[in-house]
Amino acid sequence: VDLEIKVHMGKMPRHKNSHAKYILGDIRHRKYWLKALKGVNSVIHLAGAVGVGQSFWQARKYIDVNAGGTATMFDVIIHDAKLKSSIEKIVVASSKSLYGEGAYRCAVHGMLYPEQRTLSQMKKKEWEVRCPVCGGGTIPVGIPEEKPPQNLSPYALSKYATERLAIDFSYALGIPTVALRYFNVYGPRQSLSNPYTGVIAIFLSRMMSGNSPFLFEDGMQMRDYVYVNDVARVNVSSLTKGEGIYNVGTGKPHTLLDIVALLNKATGLDIEPFISGEFRPGDNRHDFADIGRLTRDFGTISFTEFDLGIRKLVEWSADARVKDLFEREERERKRFLES
């Protein structure tokens, strides 16, 4: 549980599991890992700092917590003969953010993994990705795990370091390990007062506060949204299935405009989005998962339909703490990243 003010207001959330054992500590410190790992035979390591944008002006913190905290866990394991022999499986949380721009197909040049769109292209409001070879149009396709990482943010780099540490130590220690590259996770218990928590929660908090969702570019950029319960099931399954790196998404992309329409329907509101035509350098145009490897090793997964997941999030939000901090976050971003 992340107890930062922006996530859970600095205190344990109301939905905490009364049957779970909680250890209040910092994953960068060995003593807390020694407590957490005592007597366990499997590890699902989800602890870390989250927030792509904020990682640019808190780079040291993100690298230190995510990469450093994971390195500390393995440092504890490798120096403890009992832990090395008792731990049978390790699962770590990675992120789709390490991919950078998505995967595309050109009618002439086939599969492409382009670099991020240029600043000059974005200033012309030419939002779609073009083939870097012929300059022609492209079609977005699911991102396979083989796509080379671009690591366009300190957060992405910290998650790439997390999974590389896990895979490398897996070989060194002989402990089967899984790194799960989560796409856009959403659902109940998501912080609605954290402007870095994800676009669905950000849009919902603005709409519940009577404000229009702010859409960059033209609102047609696509992402892969995966319901939190489905992610939890994959987490548990990974204790007995799979080894290596897996995308965790649905493989079905949705636009930002789709999200606004579904939120309006679920809430009974009728709030028009503000399509700004503005852009953020480094933003991807489209990204969604190729889940072929996941279904091959884990079996067919029945993912929650997007409209149902949105309805469940909205139902839960009726009793949630909501504070629209988007505009404050935007001011912070511009102060640090725009000259």
User: Average model confidence (pLDDT) for the chain?
Assistant: 92
C-alpha separations of 101 from 116, 165, 194, 207 in Å:
6, 23, 24, 29
Examine the pLDDT at 45 and tell me if it is beyond 60.
yes
Residue 329 backbone dihedrals phi, psi, to 5 degrees: -65, -40
Instruction: Note the pLDDT of residue 195.
Output: 62
pLDDT in tens, 130-160: 999 999 999 999 999 999 999 989 999 999 9
Examine the pLDDT at 1 and tell me if it is beyond 50.
no
pLDDT in tens, 72-108: 999 999 999 999 999 999 999 999 999 999 999 999 9
pLDDT band with cut points at 50, 70 and 90 for residue 128 = very high
Whole-prediction pTM: 0.92
Instruction: Note the pLDDT of residue 281.
Output: 83
pLDDT in tens, 267-304: 999 999 999 999 988 899 999 999 999 999 999 999 99
Q: Where in the chain is the domain with CATH 3.40.50.720?
A: 5-102+142-337
Examine the pLDDT at 165 and tell me if it is beyond 80.
yes
In the CATH hierarchy, which top-level class contains the domain 5-102+142-337? alpha beta
pLDDT, average across residues 208-234: 97
Closest CA to 166 of 157, 156, 155, 179: 179
C-alpha separations of 91 from 80, 123, 180 in Å:
19, 41, 7
- C-alpha angle 102/335/153, rounded to 5°? 25
Q: Rounded CA gap, 117 and 121, in Å? A: 7
State which H helix or E strand residue 105 sits in. Answer: strand 103-106
As annotated, the active-site residues are 155
